Structure 1
């Protein structure tokens, strides 16, 4: 289950921009650096602190990617060297940020969520990605190793790639576009799950899980919460005069904005489908209950006159002429059987059976 505000209590009473350092063993950050221009390229995975600091004044474009944020002191030292505001550092280390964009004199701070969906378990995993954009550098911070940026890395390794000929603003567009494209893959899986659940529900299969339906509804709410602010974020990059963003790159951000709107429309469609399935599920339960009650009512109705006859002849009176009749038992049982058959025929003729 998703937990919110897990670290809010730790910040109580601390000044703005305060960093909370983890105690005990912590995972070392995994760092990769891409330096490139139209006629040069280098890729490094083992980078010293001095080499990272040199990227600030590099003549080429530098993309620094950092996985795992447990070493808060390292992150803080790196950001301080690049002139990052303490409030931004706090946001980078706090993984509960709402997707947003903040403009500063020397950099732009962008934070958004990446999503990973596990169809078998029906669970959604979110990860915060923080991006710092400067005039000649882009720094990405991710909570854990593994991401969806491999296509960008492959493009950077090609000499003829457009991304190698552009600046940091185009790299930011490529990162945002890759994350948004990953959303489409997730919604394909969710669409398949919804279609399968709808088929099971319409077929009246007993293994249909209302719990699974509820979990999927909750995950869609979480997705909307993670994606909806992205529309405003990309819209600002597209329309406003933002530092370090070339006007010709705004067209590309417009494409990302269109994709974001499509995704939000898909979420609304899926939510409507889920609500319809909930109503259909409740209706199917009520129909099954009505069928059961109908059968029980018919059975009860048939046995009411039979119980009356049995009750009458079960009375212990001395002067009951029928009790001494030789074929009284056979006549009574036959009468009860004929009466039951007549009632069954009547119910069938009415279409109640």
Structure 2
């Protein structure tokens, strides 16, 4: 009989805000600073350490008070997952570095966020820096945070920048219930599972941006406005942030597959190839959506220009009709004296002169309207079919999902 022990300690919920500029700026050291210097932000959340120790028969979860409490679990044959959420205490982080014998530069990469996603091999440890994205609760934009993974022989240390947001819930549930192979595998398989979960976390975010682009496409075609231009610019900027997150992540996974590591077994190496394939798919979707967003900007400019052309065409038609009418009215406004000469505008003395001129002017106006209609000047050549454009967009989305 397999025994499962899993505590239900509730983690504190901390709400944090994310600055959009963090999607583009990586951390850099102050010129002349000493290597291994830790720079902790003033609003960083205090770290919470959760340890999950498991083997094929048993799984235990507990919150530890100090990093030193993890030491008894690191030398066992079971897999120990130490999850640190928050970077708000330099003392705790340095003690954590002592417990896991982390190189000062490794601790610096973990604490000084954001770092560019990368993988570094330290013989008995493997450092993986990744970017994890989740949608904001408002649905507008996404939150990007750094996740550091330090893989050892029988343990995995993860350090998360934000304590509230992660996509590791299904993995914790699989460990708790013993579903799948995760309890039968080592720490390298756990590292793969977390990395694969991080990559797959991009897909819900990209689906949201696909819907936004589809809505913007209809808005650009039907009723473009200044707000539409601002929305397109925001989407382009946020997609660029996603690209900066997934591009180096893909390269890092590829480097790990190519170079290998003594800490990664051949079986897990095969799983990493699937993870790399997902990263390529995410990158392809990001590039496609960026191209669609760029084309939306062109469509917006064309729509605004076409709307102006339609206005100018209407004004031109009205002016063309009134030009001959104004000419006739101008002739009969010259006020020549008909008593001085019989050729001085004799029609002014006609009994039906005024009705005849009005009928003539009406006939001229109707004839010109008919002529413009026969030439097709009233057709709107600049109209784009929103339904067909939306259908093409949906077909593109479905093909990308396949």
| Structure-1 residue corresponding to 2:369 | 344
Task: Tell me the CA shift for residue 39 of structure 1.
Answer: 3.2
| Structure-2 residue corresponding to 1:143 | 161
Matches within 5 A, 1:108-119: 108-118=126-136
**Inter-CA distance 318–160: structure 2 relative to 1 (3 Å threshold):** closer
Question: Structure 2: 5+ residue runs without aligned partners?
Answer: 1-18, 339-343, 379-402
Question: Structure 1: 5+ residue runs without aligned partners?
Answer: none
Matched residues in 2 for 1:103 and 1:348: separation?
75
| Structure-2 residue corresponding to 1:226 | 245
Report the more deviating stretch, 121-130 or 253-262: 121-130
Task: Tell me the CA shift for residue 285 of structure 1.
Answer: 2.6
Matched residues in 2 for 1:343 and 1:120: separation?
56
Task: Tell me the CA shift for residue 86 of structure 1.
Answer: 1.6
Matched residues in 2 for 1:276 and 1:21: separation?
41
Matched, 1:197 2:209: no
Matched residues in 2 for 1:104 and 1:282: separation?
53
| Structure-2 residue corresponding to 1:38 | 56
What is the CA deviation profile of residues 247-274 of structure 1, one whole-angstrom value per residue up to 9, with x for unaligned ones? 2210010110111111112222222333
Report the more deviating stretch, 230-239 or 25-34: 25-34
Match of 2:201 among 179, 182, 197: 182
Matches within 5 A, 1:19-168: 19-21=38-40, 27-118=45-136, 121-145=139-163, 146-159=165-178, 161-168=180-187
Task: Tell me the CA shift for residue 11 of structure 1.
Answer: 3.0
Matched residues in 1 for 2:315 and 2:174: separation?
70
| Structure-2 residue corresponding to 1:258 | 277
Q: Contact (CA 8 Å) 2:125, 2:150: kept in 1 or not?
A: yes
Matched residues in 2 for 1:221 and 1:174: separation?
26
Q: State the SS of the aligned residue for 2:233.
A: helix
Q: State the SS of the aligned residue for 2:230.
A: helix
Q: State the SS of the aligned residue for 1:209.
A: helix
Q: Contact (CA 8 Å) 1:128, 1:142: kept in 2 or not?
A: yes
Q: Contact (CA 8 Å) 2:134, 2:166: kept in 1 or not?
A: no
What is the CA deviation profile of residues 304-338 of structure 1, one whole-angstrom value per residue up to 9, with x for unaligned ones? 12222222332355465355555443333332222
Q: State the SS of the aligned residue for 2:177.
A: coil
Matched residues in 2 for 1:292 and 1:189: separation?
36
Q: What is the aligned residue count?
A: 351
| Structure-2 residue corresponding to 1:331 | 356
Matched residues in 2 for 1:151 and 1:168: separation?
17
Matched residues in 2 for 1:265 and 1:274: separation?
14
| Structure-2 residue corresponding to 1:304 | 323
Task: Tell me the CA shift for residue 199 of structure 1.
Answer: 4.1
TM-score by length of 2: 0.79
Q: State the SS of the aligned residue for 1:45.
A: strand
Matched, 1:2 2:25: no
Matched residues in 2 for 1:206 and 1:49: separation?
56
What is the CA deviation profile of residues 257-308 of structure 1, one whole-angstrom value per residue up to 9, with x for unaligned ones? 1111111122222223333333333333332222211111010111112222
Q: State the SS of the aligned residue for 1:11.
A: coil
Q: State the SS of the aligned residue for 1:33.
A: strand
Task: Tell me the CA shift for residue 78 of structure 1.
Answer: 0.9
Q: State the SS of the aligned residue for 1:261.
A: helix
